């Protein structure tokens, strides 16, 4: 082959190899660009989308405390009235249960009874009570208890105490939620008498025609009840009180 032809063929081969290398580099560049773009897209998809700002929450409406339930079981602690006074009795022996749908269940010492009642607002009426007729101990007040219920006309109940106003001047029957409650009378050398119904954690003071419910407080000796303004302190048979209207001194438990 002539030298000129051989040189021409070598130049063509060199150009072809250079062209192949350029094409390979271009392909590699396009592949790298594609991978980078895909990574960017994937990162954008994985990025957390900002949450829409929620409107400011309004404060929850205040919930009014539930009214005391006048129904359920109550234990009779005594009767106070102008013509009669009964206190210091064993309340666990005398109970009434105002059940649903106007059903009345009664525990009159050793006897049990069942009847009906109607209650609208504070007005209450008891129907006839069918009770057993077992002879109870001599100190029993079962007949007085049943007779009082028959005269009931106004019922008011709190969390721990309730009262049943009787017809005419028959007085008021007092009840407690717990059978351990006691109604105690106090006589004072200075001032009018008063009555206190003691429960598990509360005391209801009946003084000068008014009532005050006091909570049990820590005490080194005896028992103390108060509401931040009024205070009573009992120790043995003696009673001291402060914060009440009127003057009372040297008050002692009455038999």
Say if residue 112's pLDDT is above 90: yes
Output the domain CATH number for residue 252.
2.40.128.200
Which of 155, 179, 203 is the last residue in one of the domains? Answer: 179
Structural domain containing residue 118? 68-179
Q: Are residues 194 and 153 in the same domain?
A: no
Separation of alpha carbons 193 and 107, rounded Å: 31
Confidence label for 27 from pLDDT (cuts 50, 70 and 90): low
How does the average pLDDT of the chain come out, rounded?
82
Q: Are residues 209 and 153 in the same domain?
A: no
pLDDT at 15: 52
DSSP 185-196: EEEEEES--EEE
Please tell me the total count of domains within the chain. 2
pLDDT at 40: 43
Q: Are residues 129 and 228 in the same domain?
A: no
pTM for this prediction: 0.71
Confidence label for 83 from pLDDT (cuts 50, 70 and 90): confident
Which of 158, 179, 200 is the last residue in one of the domains? Answer: 179
Say if residue 66's pLDDT is above 70: no
> Which among 131, 146, 58, 71 has a CA at the least distance from the CA of 101?
71
Question: Domain for residue 248, yes or no?
Answer: yes
């Amino acid at each position: 082959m002539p030298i000129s032809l051989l040189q021409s063929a070598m130049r063509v081969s060199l150009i072809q190899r250079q062209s192949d290398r350029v094409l390979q580099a271009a392909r590699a560049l396009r592949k790298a660009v594609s991978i980078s773009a895909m990574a960017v897209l994937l990162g954008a998809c994985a990025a957390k989308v900002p949450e829409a700002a929620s409107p400011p929450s309004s404060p929850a409406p205040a919930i009014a405390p539930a009214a005391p339930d006048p129904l359920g079981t109550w234990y009779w602690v005594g009767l106070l009235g102008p013509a009669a006074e009964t206190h210091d009795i064993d309340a666990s022996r005398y109970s009434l249960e105002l059940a649903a749908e106007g059903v009345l269940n009664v525990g009159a010492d050793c006897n049990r009874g069942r009847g009906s009642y109607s209650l609208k607002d504070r007005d209450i009426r008891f129907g006839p009570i069918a009770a057993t007729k077992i002879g109870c101990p001599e100190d029993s007040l079962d007949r007085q208890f049943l007779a009082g219920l028959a005269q009931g006309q106004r019922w008011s109940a709190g969390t721990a105490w309730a009262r049943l106003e009787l017809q005419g001047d028959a007085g008021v029957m007092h009840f407690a939620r717990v059978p351990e409650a006691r109604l105690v009378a106090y006589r004072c050398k200075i001032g009018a008498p008063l009555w206190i119904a003691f429960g598990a954690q509360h005391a209801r003071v009946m003084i000068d025609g008014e009532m005050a419910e006091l909570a049990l407080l820590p005490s080194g000796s005896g028992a103390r009840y108060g509401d931040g303004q009024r205070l009573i302190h009992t120790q043995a048979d003696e009673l001291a009180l402060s914060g009440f209207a009127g003057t009372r001194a040297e008050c002692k438990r009455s038999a």
